[in-house]
Structure 1
Amino acid sequence: MAEHELVVRAARAVTPEGERPVSVVVDGGRITDVLDGVDATVDADRELRLAEDEVLLPGLVDSHVHVNEPGRTEWEGFASATRAAALGGVTTIVDMPLNSVPPTTTVEGLKAKRAAAEGKLAVDVGFWGGAVPENTGPDTTGVLSDLWSEGVYGFKAFLSPSGVDEFGHLTAERLEAAATAIQAFGGRLIVHAEDPKVLDSAPAASGREYADFLASRPDEAENAAISLVIETARRTGVRAHILHLSSASALPLIARAKEEGVALTVETCPHYLTLAAEEVPAGATSYKCCPPIRDSANRDLLWRALRDGLIDCVVTDHSPSTPDLKHLDTGDFGTAWGGVAGLQVGFAAVWTEASGRGVPLAEVVRWMSASPAAVAGVEGKGSIAVGNDADLAVFAPEEAFQVEARSLAHRNPVSAYDGADLKGRVRRTLLRGVEITADSVSGRMIARS
């Protein structure tokens, strides 16, 4: 019997120390050594040697995924979502608390999620809790702390209507109450930041023109809501996270808050970094999301903020629905469900754009692996480092392909990336040192330790 279970040999590997040749040693599903050089002496039962055109990456971590099961499994489910994740190099997702029925706003709701996920997971899955009017009032003391004790990674709140009746949004007063409660036990508050008063005063969205939909979700809606989150975090001391930032005009607010020491982190998404409002075809409701995809100048500013470290991470906000809810027949942006399905192709889309901008692969990998793991508090994931789970992706950065929505693994064949020419294909994904196949169900439910 050999001394070790597996060695992965790569002439190029993205590690915390940078891109370099390594031999990664794996035992018991964990990385037990990272040796310099592709041919380091290792006695192992199994060997995986990457091809010349391949790069070894840490498994990506996507901390913003809407699985929707149970209750709306026809939109997306654990089996299909985690399979799509694995094909995109993602080995850990953190599931959002809404669009499922029941939502993850009580311990009972969390148990329903875990029961629905049992035996279906291709990758590891953690869960966010939700902060809603029903669990943030004076008569609901302990509901959030009970969820935290059960291992959720934090609490999502909306400041404007979420789109589903069972997950209500918080007023400024309820946000303050939630933040105070969450800060008391050291939790994390993550916020969909759009101001309802600004949205109500904007033109109503309707019709096939994307410009009309964009006008209904102006930058000021994000800016006003982000200001409220910052002020709330400053007063209460809660750790706050801004979800899916699309408005670059909010960046000065964020910069000032971080300089002042407010405990604030920020994410953006592949669709805000790779798509542009002026390029959205009429009636193409697969592009609809909230907050919206803005123009190319805005996109450039988001890229600059990422490279400067002002934006902390990139996650997909994978939020699919059934084709009928996207109103593909009418192309009406006012009535279509808002959400972009990008779990499988998000990394390739960002890498395609990044490489055209001269951004190194290692930087993109960090934004989509170690950084979201750190923001969410997911331990043992996101980097090729001793002690971490041996979650790895074999990536061919120059391999070109065209996205076909009907061939993607998520449940419904709708994607804003349909027909896109991308480069960078994930050829293999390993979870705890074992390659994920089409019928793999070795993913585990993980919890905050």
Structure 2
Amino acid sequence: MQVRKIYSNRVWIEKKLQPATVSFINSSITAIDFKKLNDTEDFGNAVIMPGVIDVHVHINEPGRTEWEGFETATQAAAAGGTTTIIDMPLNASPVTTTLQAFQQKLDASVGKMNVNVGFYAGLIPGNIPHLESLLQSGILGIKCFLTHSGIDEFPNVTENDLDEAMPIIAKYNIPLLAHCELYDKEVDSDFENHPTSYQHYLAGRPKKWENEAIDLMIRMSRKHNCPVHIVHVASAEALSNIEAAKKEGLPITAETCTQYIYFNAEEIPNGNTIYKCAPPIREKANNEQLKEAFVTGVLDFITTDHSPAPPSIKEIETGNLKKAWGGIAGIQFLLSGSWTAMKDTMTLEQFIPLVTSKPARFIKANLKGTIAAGKDADFVIWNPEESSVINESDILFKHKISPYISQSLSGRVLETIVNGGTVYKNKSITNKNKGIWLLQK
């Protein structure tokens, strides 16, 4: 293959944007030159940076491909500048709680990876005998729920389950990812009688549930010295305890998702189920605190928790929030949605690591997340200053159901390069199946 050289006045190298030419051949970066070379593609002032890494998505294949699938999800990821995704163990059928189920998932992804794909396995009551084989199989983390997951075959764990599992997980220094809500029957939100009311839904999943669950995971991390990752933090009240746990030196990391910093409860209309997720999108004042937590480092990086469903399961026609599947389709908007949300809170230089080097470090992907000789040739070339209104026709994931439709987002992706090959350019997929598996060594 011929060496390709790309130049811009703004290339993200050594933690700053600077003029540079990046040369790469096949899937590796071969050289960095801090000047424009001959035979170089000049992208002007567009930003060239490492491909975005989304470490929290639900692909739903095998078994629920009418919801999504590797082919459509990875095309949508590439369209948004994402070059690596990590797939959750639930929403597929079978759920990834045994080695055999993991093999089925690997088989299902073959020939359908338009970006790089890594995988988590699941912890549920009764599958602890399977943990060692899963931890040795190449998975990048173990996921558990502390409340009902929405999928009956992926039940929540108890403190006793955690006591049994965490010493095993700690041996491998792999994170236990936790959905932190502890169900409390005492909440009287009257949601039963107001199933289309967003405010009643919000009241039915209070911050207290999250706070207590996060406190439990901090205690368990301390007890077992096990790495714990808090997924989709939505309650700003939990931030001070996460911060204290980090200062104590506990192996705790935490994320929030684009939807929790871009949208807010005050502006969500009743009967509009595309906004339903769990934990719920909370109030504007709360979400401003989540944004500030990226500045202070209490929150580590941003994900999408892409969790799509067909219109009937999403109860689009009825607007019934009680019955609707809880999940937001957003894999295509990690870069543009998050930058739009964060650009008044931090600089572009502060923002870029939240979607590149920091998630790369979390999944121990040493060749990803930075631009340097010898690193993987995964790039997004984009214009952060250019905004556009998202149309249904722009969407590449399976069901064109998303709260980002009709939103004006800052950041237009010009080109997405995966393992040295252009996958997305000029609003279309150009090369398919350039992605590879990302498995823990």
Question: What TM-score do you get using the length of structure 2 for normalisation?
Answer: 0.95
Q: Does 1:49 align with 2:49?
A: no
Structure 2: any 5+ residue segments left out of the alignment? none
Alpha-carbon spacing, 1:242–1:297, altered in 2? closer, same or farther (3 Å): same
- Structure 2 partner of 1:425: 412
Supply the AA of the counterpart residue of 2:412: R
Contact map agreement 2:310 2:399 (CA 8 A) in 1: yes
CA distance in 1, matches of 2:351, 2:68: 27
Shift of 1:378: 2.5
* Correspondence list, 1:334-373, <5 A: 334-355=322-343, 357-373=344-360
Q: Give the AA of the match of 2:55.
A: S
User: How many angstroms apart in 1 are the aligned matches of 2:188 and 2:239?
Assistant: 22
Measured after TM superposition, the shift of residue 398 of structure 1 is 1.8
Q: What is the SS of the residue equivalent to 1:326?
A: coil
The CA deviation string for residues 48-78 of structure 1, in whole angstroms up to 9 with x for no partner, is 321x341111100000010000010011100
Q: Does 1:123 align with 2:110?
A: no
State the distance in 2 between where 1:322 and 1:254 align.
35
How far did 1:199 drift? Answer: 5.7
Letter in 1 for 2:250: V
Structure 1 residue 362 displacement after superposition = 2.3
2:54 paired residue number = 62
Q: CA deviation at 1:105?
A: 0.8
Distance in structure 1 (CA, Å) of the matches to 2:201 and 2:388: 31
Shift of 1:185: 2.7
2:325 matches 1:325: no
Q: Give a deviation string over 1:387-444, Cα, whole Å, max 9, x none.
A: 2111001101122211123530000010011211112111100012210142511211
Aligned to 2:159: 172
Please state whether the residue corresponding to 1:114 is helix, strand or coil. helix
Determine the structure 1 residue equivalent to 2:179: 192
Given the alignment, which residue of 65, 72, 79 partners 2:64?
72
Distance 1:253 1:68 in 2: 33
1:384 alignment partner in structure 2: 371
Q: Which amino acid aligns with 1:205?
A: F
Tell me which of 290, 315, 318 is aligned to 2:303. 315
1:285 aligns with 2:273: yes
Tell me the residue number matched to 1:160: 147
Contact 2:8 2:45 in 1 (8 A): no
1:134-185 deviations in Å (ceiling 9; x for gaps): 212xxx2xx1121111100010000000000111110111022111211123
CA distance in 1, matches of 2:156, 2:368: 32
Alpha-carbon offset, residue 377 of structure 1: 2.1
Q: Deviations over 1:70-93 (max 9, x none)?
A: 010011100000000000000000
Which of 28, 31, 37 does residue 29 from structure 2 map onto? 31
Tell me the secondary structure at the aligned position of residue 306 of structure 2. coil
C-alpha contact 2:225 2:251 (8 A) present in aligned 1: yes
Q: For residue 240 of structure 1, what is the aligned residue in structure 2? A: 228
Check if 1:182 corresponds to 2:180.
no
Alpha-carbon distance in 2 for matches of 1:244, 1:333:
20
The CA distance in 2 between the partners of 1:16 and 1:161, in whole Å, is: 43
C-alpha distance in structure 2 between counterparts of 1:328 and 1:230, whole Å: 37
Deviations along 1:187-232, one digit per CA (max 9) or x if unpaired, are 2211001002x26645363422110000011000000000000000
Letter of the 1:81 counterpart: A
User: Which residue of structure 2 lines up, in the alignment, with residue 5 of structure 1?
Assistant: 3
Q: Secondary structure at the match of 1:57?
A: strand
**2:437 alignment partner, SS class:** coil
Deviation at 1:375, TM superposition (A): 1.4
CA shift, 1:358, in A, is: 4.9
Q: Which residue number in structure 1 is paired with residue 132 of structure 2?
A: 145
Indicate yes or no: 2:78 matched with 1:86.
yes
2:189 maps to 203
* Cα contact 1:199–1:216 (8 A) shared by 2: no
Q: Secondary structure at the match of 1:234?
A: helix
2:234–2:280 CA contact under 8 A, matched in 1: yes
Counterparts in 2 of 1:255-270, with a 5 A limit? 255-270=243-258
Cα distance in 2, alignment partners of residues 171 and 205 from structure 1: 26
TM-score of the superposed pair, with normalisation by structure 1: 0.94
Aligned equivalents of 2:394 and 2:13: distance in 1? 31
- Asked if 1 retains the 8 angstrom alpha-carbon contact of 2:385 and 2:410, the reply is yes
- The aligned counterpart of 1:223 is 211
* Cα drift, residue 349 of structure 1: 1.2
How far off is 1:445 after superposition?
1.3
Q: Would you say how many aligned residue pairs link Structure 1 and Structure 2?
A: 434
Query: What is the alpha-carbon distance in structure 1 between the residues aligned to residue 384 and residue 422 of structure 2?
Result: 19
Equivalent residue for 2:400, pick from 413, 417, 426 = 413
- Give the aligned residue type for 2:243: A
Which amino acid is 2:204 matched to? Answer: S
SS of the residue corresponding to residue 304 of structure 2 reads: coil
Tell me the secondary structure at the aligned position of residue 396 of structure 2.
Answer: coil
- Aligned-partner SS, 1:325: coil
8 A contact 1:205–1:333 mirrored in 2? no
Percent identity, aligned pairs only, is 37
| Contact persistence 1:8–1:23 (CA under 8 A) | yes
1:296 & 1:101 partners in 2: Cα distance?
36
Task: Flag the 1:304–1:285 CA change in 2: closer, same or farther, 3 A.
Answer: same
SS at match of 1:81: helix
Write the distance in 2 (CA, Å) between the matches of 1:190 and 1:202: 29
Unpaired runs of 5+ residues, structure 1, are: none
Mapped to 1, the partners of 2:438 and 2:292 lie a distance apart of 33
User: For residue 328 of structure 1, what is the amino acid of its counterpart?
Assistant: I
Which region of structure 1 is more displaced relative to structure 2, 200-209 or 382-391? 200-209
Query: What secondary structure is seen at the aligned counterpart in 1 of 2:361?
Result: helix
Instruction: Tell me what 1:102 maps to.
Output: 94
